[in-house]
Chain A
Amino acid sequence: MKVHDTKKIYKLDLIAVKIRKHIIEMLYKSKSGHPGGSLSAVDALVALYFVHMKHNPKKPCEPNRDRFILSKGHAAPALYAVLAECGYFNVKELTKLRTMNSMLQGHPVCTYVPGVEASTGSLGHGLSFANGVAIAGKLDNKEYNVYAMLGDGETGEGQIWEAAAVASHYKLDNLTALIDRNFLQIDGNTEDVLRLESVRDRWNAFGWNVIEINGHDIKQILDSLNKANAHKRQPSIIILNTTKGKGVSFMENNVDFHGVPPNEMERNLAIEELNLAQKKLEALL
């Protein structure tokens, strides 16, 4: 990797830290929300929105845009922070998460928030929505790509597998799913709650092109997105091997932080850690 490439990645890592800080502040302020799955999804969102996707925050409805659908809607804070940092709306809005009269509902709503494509939160829907978008793209000979991020626990929903079958049947190679494989869901380890392994074999069996990477390595994420786009006649899925709560030591791999926000002390500790990570990255630039 060239030096300027390395620096480019560091800059993206820095954005990811900033997003994580937003998430902690938002959840602390609203006193509710899902830290674990928001933090694990950040790096992929940064790679998509700050580099890979073709989109214009000033024209959120532009017909040729790439689309991203957050099927695991409880990671809304991560998506909101990314959209705000991209310029879809004012960063100040983020402090209103989950409060009355705010467009930032607990789970994303497409009719309220510029840049939100689908109203999610009821698990299992997003990949189907992405199917519709991808089919429309094929019908209209459009160049856009559609991305859907799934939770790993979410793939327990039957609708995911309906969508998996249909996407493969229609050879939707303009569709890429990303699965946030952090191995934790509310009731515990995914393999104890409802076994998912082998994730790779399942998607392979449904006729998908499967790519497996470190879901916190932005360089790997960008490379895999390019590979997914280049792969023809099959939809692709990127298994993002991630850590739930990534970036905040005491939240990492801690299922208690699935849906519980940080208290004041936890928030201070988390911000301290993230500030440290920020300084380290800034020193490298």
Chain B
Amino acid sequence: MSNKIMVNPRNAYGEALIELGKKYKNLVVLDADLSKSTKTIMFAKKYPKRFLEMGIAEANMITAAAGLASCGKIPFVSTFAVFATGRVYDQIRMDIAYSKANVKIFATHGGISVGKDGVSHQMIEDIALMRVLPNMTVIAPSDAIQTGKIVHLMAEKNGPMYARVGRANAPLIYGKNDLNDIELGKGMTVETGSDISIIAYGTMVEPALEARKILSKENIKARVIDMHTIKPLDEKLVLKCAKETNAIITAEEHSVIGGLGAAVAEILAEKNISTKFLRMGIKDIFCESGEPVDLLEKYELNTKHMVKNAKKLLKN
């Protein structure tokens, strides 16, 4: 890990907002007293008039964003993932998803690796909550470079969108020019392999790449997919993985219920595809306070457990 360049995706979000603020005069940013954490403060400093501090009043913030969108604005709305989804579900449902409002919810502090704040601030249900809403695009970028690209794509394309990143610094996976062809709704094959596919998003892509290295030493060839868009899901790519490799593992910092693992399972079942399959995620429990690295170990969401699971799955 030591030789990897660590960059915080939140900073990439802040920087992208500044670029987009220049490009789109109708772009506005809303935050609920967390601008220093979500990094919308970077936009606030550059474009103070277009930054709307909405206070600790998330429900109002979400619906107000829909009102702004109805007047032609492109609102980016940010807070922690737990407050950006569960707390304001009804507002997102009625005012954004059902109303097809051009609102971009960009949440930070997704998953359990938020760490010591505990369950009140960890969010492992957001992808499920957003995925079930018609009209909603659901995204989770994996590193800072991808985050920047995706924030641009979100602004360019009309419609309701939800994106989440974690809190922690994340190792860079991509170079500046690796993502020129990136598209929402199209998964990326980061590394090829023919024995097993690890389909992951967000904070789980990099551990999957590490797992691939370890597995290759044991002559297991793992393919790593960065499924940055969970909805609409790249079904073709999932089916391709099922066809070309002997097993599929999904990995996400999210409940095993309702997220990427569930989405992949639904496709495999409906297409009558029988393959070895395992969902890695939080196993329908609430977690606890702790160092991110310790949490990910206890709740079995790291490279070590990916390697273990891959070997076990292939052996069965």
**Contacts A132-B65, A132-B67, A169-B55 known; A122 to B94 CB distance under 8 Å?**
yes
- The A-contacting residues of B in range 62-117, CB under 8 angstroms, are 62-73, 75, 90-91, 93-95, 98-100
Contact A139 B67 (CB under 8 A): no
What's the dominant secondary structure at chain B's contact region?
A: helix
- A165 within 8 Å of B (CB atoms): yes
- A158 within 8 Å of B (CB atoms): yes
Residue of A nearest to B57 (CB): A162
Q: In the complex, which residues of chain B have a beta carbon less than 8 angstroms from the beta carbon of A166?
A: 54-55, 57, 60, 64
Residue of B nearest to A117 (CB): B70
**Contacts A118-B95, A122-B90 known; A131 to B67 CB distance under 8 Å?**
yes
Bound form: Cα–Cα A158–B57 in Å: 10
Interface bits B19-49 vs A (CB < 8 Å: 1, else 0): 0000000001000000000000000000001
**Contacts A119-B94, A122-B94, A139-B28 known; A133 to B57 CB distance under 8 Å?**
no
Q: How close is B47's CB to chain A, nearest CB, in angstroms?
A: 11
Q: In the complex, which residues of chain A have a beta carbon less than 8 angstroms from the beta carbon of B59?
A: 124, 128, 158-159, 162
**Contacts A128-B59, A166-B54 known; A133 to B95 CB distance under 8 Å?**
no
Q: In the complex, which residues of chain B have a beta carbon less than 8 angstroms from the beta carbon of A132?
A: 63-71, 75
Residue of B nearest to A137 (CB): B71
- B52 within 8 Å of A (CB atoms): yes
Bound form: Cα–Cα A67–B67 in Å: 11
- The B-contacting residues of A in range 78-134, CB under 8 angstroms, are 109-111, 117-122, 124-125, 128-134
Residue from B28, B69, B71, B90 with most neighbouring chain A CB atoms (10 Å): B71
Bound form: Cα–Cα A129–B99 in Å: 12
Q: In the complex, which residues of chain B have a beta carbon less than 8 angstroms from the beta carbon of A162?
A: 55, 57, 59-60
Q: How close is A233's CB to chain B, nearest CB, in angstroms?
A: 18
Contact B68 A125 (CB under 8 A): no
Q: How close is A70's CB to chain B, nearest CB, in angstroms?
A: 13
Bound form: Cα–Cα A27–B73 in Å: 37
**Contacts A159-B60, A166-B54 known; A133 to B94 CB distance under 8 Å?**
no
- B50 within 8 Å of A (CB atoms): yes
Q: How close is A175's CB to chain B, nearest CB, in angstroms?
A: 10
Q: In the complex, which residues of chain B have a beta carbon less than 8 angstroms from the beta carbon of A140?
A: 71
Q: How close is A196's CB to chain B, nearest CB, in angstroms?
A: 20
Q: How close is B305's CB to chain A, nearest CB, in angstroms?
A: 41
**Contacts A111-B99, A111-B100, A139-B49 known; A128 to B60 CB distance under 8 Å?**
yes
Q: In the complex, which residues of chain A have a beta carbon less than 8 angstroms from the beta carbon of B57?
A: 162-163, 165-166
Residue of A nearest to B94 (CB): A122
Q: Which of B52, B71, B94 contacts A125 (CB 8 A)?
A: B94
Q: Which of B50, B61, B67 contacts A118 (CB 8 A)?
A: B67
Q: How close is B209's CB to chain A, nearest CB, in angstroms?
A: 41
Chain A interface residues toward B at CB < 8 A: 63, 109-111, 117-122, 124-125, 128-137, 139-140, 158-159, 162-163, 165-166, 169
Chain B interface residues toward A at CB < 8 A: 28, 49-50, 52, 54-55, 57, 59-73, 75, 90-91, 93-95, 98-100
Jot down 10 A-B pairs with beta carbons below 8 A, ordered by A: A118-B67, A118-B95, A120-B94, A128-B95, A131-B64, A136-B72, A159-B91, A163-B57, A163-B64, A166-B55
List 8 other contacts, CB 8 Å, given A125-B63, A162-B55.
Answer: A63-B72, A111-B98, A128-B60, A129-B64, A139-B73, A159-B63, A159-B91, A162-B60
